[in-house]
């Protein structure tokens, strides 16, 4: 029983990172209907940017914020410079997926060209070990949990209590109708890509803080459970991604405790397949464009 409780604690901590990544991933998809596989490489880029900024002597939590903002800008540049022109030329969703996969590989090996293939470590940033509710977490994990919670609450307020949030929800539901109602859908798309990139960057740095070391494959590996979390909650549904991230994190850690840590991604993939078979719309449903693409 004690092992189960500890595994759940670790699952909540890892689930917070996955939820950050999954919310950013699904938020952008909900607005643009582009399955952005470059997302994983942008997480890796954020982790390496974090290492560079830490080398300048900046505080790790300031680095997390700056890294998120920088990746947010990179995300908008990716959309404006590469994807939007292809969409205007009529490239179909499957073609866009291939483009994002290719762009992700390019980003990945640009990182290798600059930083090299060797592993990188942030050093000992874990802080003191805390014990509560039978969980054993480090100070860094607790801070990441709090940061994730604050960001989720902030996103909820943005989507439900502001004019911008209503415009984003309208654009996600029906872009053509939203445009005819006077909503600047192009600007809303830029904002969605920026928020997605910011969540992506912060998740990448948070992940780098919680692992001993990482290399240029960091984002590619974690992209699997992030997509699983997004599909579990319902692609395009930010609230579903929050729940999905926690569920995938907890199930993966419990399976690692009772089975083997080597099979965490296998469990995530199994959850993805089962959800697609049983309920393709996810726990919180998805719009028609999401269902079409998943099919």
By residue range, what is the domain housing residue 264?
A: 2-294
Residue 290: its H or E element: helix 288-294
The tens digit of pLDDT for each residue in 5-54 reads 888 888 888 999 999 999 999 999 989 989 999 999 999 999 999 999 99
Contact 218, 43 (CB under 8 A): yes
State the pLDDT at residue 285.
62
State the pLDDT at residue 236.
74
State the pLDDT at residue 289.
41
From first to last of its 295 residues, the chain has per-residue pLDDT tens of: 677 888 888 888 899 999 999 999 999 998 998 999 999 999 999 999 999 999 999 999 999 999 999 999 999 999 999 999 999 999 998 999 999 999 999 999 999 999 998 999 998 887 788 877 778 788 998 999 999 999 999 998 998 899 999 999 889 888 888 998 899 999 999 999 999 999 999 999 999 999 889 999 999 889 989 998 988 888 778 888 888 899 899 888 888 888 877 777 788 888 888 888 888 777 776 444 443 333 3
State the pLDDT at residue 23.
94
End-to-end CA gap in the chain: 40
State the pLDDT at residue 36.
94
Task: Kindly state the tokens that stand for 209.
Answer: 């803080």
How many structural domains compose the chain? 1
State the alpha helices, DSSP H only, in 56-116. 60-78, 84-88, 93-115
State the pLDDT at residue 283.
75
State the pLDDT at residue 288.
41
Q: Cα torsion at 6, 12, 14, 20 (round to 10°)?
A: -170
**Domain of residue 41, CATH code:** 1.10.3470
Instruction: Collapse the DSSP code of 52 into the 3-class scheme (helix H, G, I; strand E, B; otherwise coil) and give the result.
Output: helix
Q: Which residues pair with 132 in a beta bridge?
A: 135
The residue ranges of DSSP E strands in the chain, in sequence order, are 129-132, 135-138
């Amino acid at each position: 029983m004690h092992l189960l409780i500890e595994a759940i604690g670790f699952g909540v901590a890892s689930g917070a990172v996955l939820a950050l990544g999954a919310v950013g991933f699904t938020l952008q998809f909900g607005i643009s209907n582009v399955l952005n596989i470059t997302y994983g490489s942008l997480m890796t880029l954020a982790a390496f940017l974090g290492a560079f900024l830490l080398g300048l002597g900046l505080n790790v939590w300031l680095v997390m914020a700056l890294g998120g903002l920088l990746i947010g800008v990179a995300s908008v540049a990716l959309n404006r410079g590469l994807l939007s022109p292809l969409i205007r030329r009529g490239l179909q969703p499957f073609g866009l997926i291939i483009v994002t996969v290719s762009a992700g590989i390019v980003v990945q090996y640009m990182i290798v060209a600059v930083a090299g293939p060797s592993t990188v470590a942030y050093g000992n940033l874990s802080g003191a070990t805390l014990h509560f509710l039978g969980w054993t977490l480090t100070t860094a994990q607790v801070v990441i949990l709090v940061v994730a919670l604050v960001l989720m609450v902030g996103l909820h307020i943005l989507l439900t209590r502001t004019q911008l949030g209503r415009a984003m929800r309208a654009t996600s539901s029906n872009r053509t109708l939203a445009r005819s109602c006077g909503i600047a859908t192009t600007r809303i798309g830029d904002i969605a890509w920026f928020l997605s990139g910011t969540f992506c960057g912060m998740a990448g740095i948070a992940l780098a803080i919680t692992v001993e070391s990482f290399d240029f494959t960091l984002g590619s590996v974690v992209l699997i459970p992030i997509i699983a979390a997004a599909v579990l909650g319902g692609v395009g549904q930010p609230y579903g991604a929050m729940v999905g991230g926690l569920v995938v994190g907890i199930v993966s850690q419990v399976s690692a405790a009772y089975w083997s840590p080597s099979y965490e991604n296998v469990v995530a993939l199994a959850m993805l397949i089962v959800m697609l078979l049983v309920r393709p719309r996810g726990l919180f449903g998805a719009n028609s464009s999401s269902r079409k693409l998943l099919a």
